[in-house]
Amino acid sequence: MHHFARALSGLLVLFPLLAPCPGLADEHGPRESADALVAQSPGLEARVVAWRRDFHQHPELSNRETRTAGVVEKVLRELGLEVRPGIAHTGVVGVLKGGRPGPVVALRADMDALPVTEDTGLPFASVARANYAGREVGVMHACGHDAHMAILLGAAEVLSRARAQVPGTVLFVFQPAEEGAPAGEEGGAKLMLKEGVFDDPKPDAAFALHVVPQHEVGEIALRGGGVMAGSNRLQIRVRGRQTHAAYPWLGVDPVAVASRIVLALQAIPARRVDNRTATVVSFGAIHGGVRHNIIPDEVQLLGTIRHLDPEVRDDLFDKIRSTAEKIAESAGAVAEVEIPDGYPITWNDPALTERARVVLAQVVDADRLITPTPRTGAEDFAFFARETPGSYFWLGVRPPGTTLDEVAPNHSPHFLLNEDAMLIGVRAFVQLVLSETARP
C-alpha cells in the first residue's frame, strides 16, 4: 500500500497541476472560450500524453482497474473536484460544480484493457500479465482506452481552471469494464447506473469519444441515430450421441450438425433479413470432442449477433433459434440455443448530435468532420444513452498520409495511435461542455 501511494505521488511530480487561472470574459463564444482555456494551460498536451503513456504501461482488465482508478482519483482530487470512487467496483466520477446554475453534462471515458499481448515496440509498452478466463495472458490497452482517460483528465483540468464561469455541472465519468465484466460478475455502464451514477445530479446530456485508425488525425466522425450495433452473445449446445468415428451410423454426430448450423446461421443476414439494415452472425469458438476417432456426445458453439434495428433483432433471434433447432432435429440431435441479454444499440440523440456537429466543426475543419456509416461494433455507452440524450463520436488517430493498410486496427497487438490527436479530443470535450451548459 505504501508503495502504491509513493507511485501516485511520483506521478503527480511528473504531471504537476497548475493553479486555477483567471476566467474568460462572458462575451466569448464556445469556440473562443475553449481555445483560450486550452491556451491558458501551459504544458497541457505534455501532461495528457504522459497520463496516456502511464496508463498504457500499466493496463488492467475489466473490473480489476484498481491502480488505474487510484491514479484517476488522485488527479481529480488535485483539481479540486468532488470525487466519487468505487462505483461499479472501480469506477470513478469527478463532479465539477460551475459558478452559475445551468444544465448537467456528463463526459465518459472507459478504463479497462484487453487480454492481448502487446507487440508494438513502444518504449512504454505493456509487459503486464493477468489471469483471464482461467489462463495467464498478456494485458494491453489495445483499444485506446488509455487515450480516452488521458483526454478526459485533460478536459477536467481545463474546465476546473475556469469553473467560476462554467454554468451548470460537469460529470467526468471514468467507467470500468466497457469490454465486458468477467463471467459471473456485473460491471460496466449498466452497473454504474444501477448504483446511481446518474441519480444525483441527472445529466441533461452525455458525450463519449473513441479513438480509431479508420480516420486520420484531425478528423472527427459522428452521425445521429443508431451508430453502433446492439450486441448479444450466442451460445448453442448441440447434443448428439457418442460413438466410434468408424461407425458414425451407430450414433448422432454433433460435429457435423454443428457445422451445418454455423453455415446456415451465418447465411441468415445475407438471405433472410432486410439487407438495408446491417446484421451480423459470427462464431468465434467451437468446442467438442477429445480424440480423433471418437464422435462426441456434444459440441458447443460460441458466437455473436450484431444488429442496428430493434425490430430486425427480434425477428433475427427467432430465425436463429428455429434454424438451429430444426437442423439438429433433422439429424436426430438437439440444439439448445441461448441468447443472453447484451448491449443495446448505441443511439445518438439526433438533436443533441446536430448541436454537437456545429460545435465540432469549430474543433476541426468542416471538411474533416465525417458522417460515417453505422458500425457493427458494440459500445457500453449505449446504456448511458438510454438514460439521457447521448452523442458518441470517433476521433481519428491514424498518422496523416498513411492508409488503412498501413495501420493496425483496434484490438490488435500492433495497435498504435498518433498522440497529436489527443489535444483535439480535449478541445472537443471542452467545447461541447461550454456549448451545452450555455443553453437556456
Positions marked catalytic: 343, 419
Q: And the C-alpha cell for 419? A: 498522440
User: Would you say the C-alpha torsion 353, 356, 358, 363 has a positive or negative sign?
Assistant: negative
Identify whether the C-beta of residue 156 lies closer than 8 Å to the C-beta of residue 77. no
Amino acid at 21: C
For the chain, what percentages of helix, strand and coil (3-state, to nearest 5) are there?
A: 35, 25, 35
Residue 381 CA to residue 384 CA, distance in Å, equals 5
Contacts for 117 with CB less than 8 Å, ≥ 6 apart: 137, 138, 140, 413
Distance from the Cα of residue 142 to its chain's centroid = 11
Task: Round to whole Å and give the CA distance between 421 and 408.
Answer: 17
> Beta partners for 301?
236, 286
- Residues 216, 396 contacting (CB under 8 angstroms): yes
- How far is residue 32 from each of residues 38, 86, 152, 355, 421, measured CA to CA in Å? 10, 36, 20, 17, 20
Measured CA distances, 226 to 32, 346, 348, 350 (Å)? 31, 6, 6, 10
**Contacts (Cβ under 8 Å, ≥6 apart) of 13:** none
- Using CA atoms, how far residue 275 sits from 21, 228, 267, in Å, is 54, 16, 12
Which distant-in-sequence residues (6+ apart) come within 8 Å of 46 by Cβ? none
